[in-house]
């Protein structure tokens, strides 16, 4: 069963979503204004509480976001492949930047295990990065699944990656990987096809998070933006 709620404020082109203890966050980009946004949302009324405008020179495209250990992790990149990005660590209460590091690539999604590793995907998730918490590259490797992951989350030793197949069907999918911190390897253990989120103009490609046994998606841009909830399968 799918339930959904409309987000009635300007969301632009949605990129990522994440839940903190008290709030829902959404990252988005306004292509015309060349500005990125981080929206802070009331998780009950779904009204907009606060927002942070994001732009550093030519860098204004936020990606998939996540919250771990009391901080929100957000990538901000140039709006093109093979470019540059800044990975921000943000206080979700104040929206103040606590730390950051730069990457010589377009990074479109990040998350962390909170134990020394930050994971990231570049443009269309062609490559997967693993950094330490200071931004030093520990490993970089090709995404053999050839799925354009757009938002990623780390839970209980597993990396959940939501995106679309690079094929004619462009089906929505969630791949689940087991992380081996000793060898820095990701091994796929399960795939969730998400055809039920194939909408008229979008295919569950942007914005995914996990909370209390449910997947949450925001696959549609303004003015049709809705938050969808689906029960996770065992």
What is 147-215 written as a DSSP string?
EEEEEEEEETTEEEEEEEESSSS--EEEEEEEEETTTTEEEEEEEEE-GGGB-SS-BS-S-EEEETTEE
What are the respective helix, strand and coil percentages of the chain, to the nearest 5? 5, 55, 40
The per-residue pLDDT for 31 is: 92
Q: What is the pLDDT of residues 169-198, one digit of tens each?
A: 677 889 999 999 999 999 999 998 876 666
Where is pLDDT greater, at 218 or 1? Answer: 218
- 168: confidence class by pLDDT, cuts 50, 70, 90: low
Query: In this structure, are residues 101 and 135 in contact, taking their beta carbons and an 8 Å threshold?
Result: yes
The token duo for 63 is 């990606």
Q: Which whole number is the average pLDDT over 81-96?
A: 97
Which tokens in the block code for residue 159? 């990396």
Phi, psi torsion values for 124, nearest 5 degrees: 60, 15
Neighbours of 18 (CB within 10 A): 28
From CA 230, how far away is CA 215, in angstroms rounded?
Answer: 5
The domain tally of the chain equals 1
Sheet containing 185-193: order of strands = 147-155, 158-165, 172-180, 185-193
Task: Answer whether 75's CB lies under 8 Å from 83's CB.
Answer: no
Domain of residue 108, residue span:
2-231
How much of the chain exceeds pLDDT 70, in percent? Answer: 93
- The CATH number of residue 67's host domain is 2.120.10.30
In this prediction, residues 49-55 reach a mean pLDDT of 97
State the pairing for strand pair 97-103/107-112: unpaired
């Amino acid at each position: 069963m799918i339930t959904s709620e409309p987000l009635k404020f300007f969301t632009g082109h949605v990129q990522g979503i994440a839940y903190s203890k008290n709030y829902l966050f959404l990252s988005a980009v306004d292509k015309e204004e060349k500005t990125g946004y981080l929206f802070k949302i009331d998780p009950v009324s779904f009204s907009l509480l606060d927002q942070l405008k994001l732009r550093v020179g030519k860098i204004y495209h936020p990606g998939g976001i996540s919250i771990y250990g009391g901080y929100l992790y957000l990538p901000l990149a140039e709006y093109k492949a093979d470019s540059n990005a800044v990975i921000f660590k943000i206080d979700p209460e104040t929206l103040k930047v606590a730390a950051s590091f730069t990457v010589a690539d377009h990074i479109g999604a990040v998350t962390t295990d909170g134990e020394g590793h930050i994971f990231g995907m570049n443009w269309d998730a062609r490559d997967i990065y693993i950094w330490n918490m200071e931004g030093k590259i520990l490993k970089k490797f090709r995404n053999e699944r050839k799925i354009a992951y757009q938002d990623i989350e780390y839970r209980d030793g597993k990396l959940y990656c939501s995106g679309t197949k690079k094929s004619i069907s462009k089906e929505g999918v969630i791949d689940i990987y087991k992380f081996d911190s000793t060898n820095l390897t990701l091994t796929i253990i399960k795939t969730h096809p998400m055809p039920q989120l194939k909408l008229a103009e979008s295919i569950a490609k942007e914005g995914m998070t996990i909370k209390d046994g449910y997947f949450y998606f925001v696959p549609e841009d303004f003015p049709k933006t809705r938050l969808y909830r689906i029960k996770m399968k065992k």
